[in-house]
Each structure stands twice: as structure tokens, then as C-alpha cells.
């Protein structure tokens, strides 16, 4: 756990602490020696996925989900 920083010191050094948090460091802010808050980096939200990027690029056979031939199934059990 990170060494707590006094809330008064945190107010005077806020810009530096935010930069440190953005760089990955966890900052604990304390009041009267008791931890009160934690300053951590934000995790950016994932970009939404675009649907339909492969539309028209793939051909699927009309019978792709048809049952397999019995001789093919038997051959697989050898």
C-alpha cells in the first residue's frame, strides 16, 4: 500500500499527484493520519464495436448446418 499523503499537502500538490496517478501510481489521501480516499488512474472505456465490417466478404454454403454424412461420421471414429 502506498504511503498516505496528508489532505492539506494533497491540496497543494494536486497537479503533481494527478500526474503520478495517471502514470499508474496509487495515491492514498489521509486526514489526521486516517486514509480517506484513493487517487488511481482512469481506465479508458473500450471503443464500441462496429457491426457489419465483414458484410458481403464471406460466403456461407446454404447447407452449412445440414447433418453430416454417415460415412464421414464413421470415418472420424477410426
CA 8, chain centre distance (Å): 33
Could you say which residues of the chain have pLDDT below 70?
Answer: 1, 77-78
27-31: strand order across its sheet: 5-6, 27-31, 34-39
Q: State the pLDDT at residue 20.
A: 94
**What is the length of the chain?**
78
Q: State the pLDDT at residue 77.
A: 63
Q: pTM for the complete prediction?
A: 0.54
Sign of torsion over alpha carbons 42, 1, 12, 31: positive
In 10 A of CB 7, how many CB atoms?
13
Amino acid at each position: 500500500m502506498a504511503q498516505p499523503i496528508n489532505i492539506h499537502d494533497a491540496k497543494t500538490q494536486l497537479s503533481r499527484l494527478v500526474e503520478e496517478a495517471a502514470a499508474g501510481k496509487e495515491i492514498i489521501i489521509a486526514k489526521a493520519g486516517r486514509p480517506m480516499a484513493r487517487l488511481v488512474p482512469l481506465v479508458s472505456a473500450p471503443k464500441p464495436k462496429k457491426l457489419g465490417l465483414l458484410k458481403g466478404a464471406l460466403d456461407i454454403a446454404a447447407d452449412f448446418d445440414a447433418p453430416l454424412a454417415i460415412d464421414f461420421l464413421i470415418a472420424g471414429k477410426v
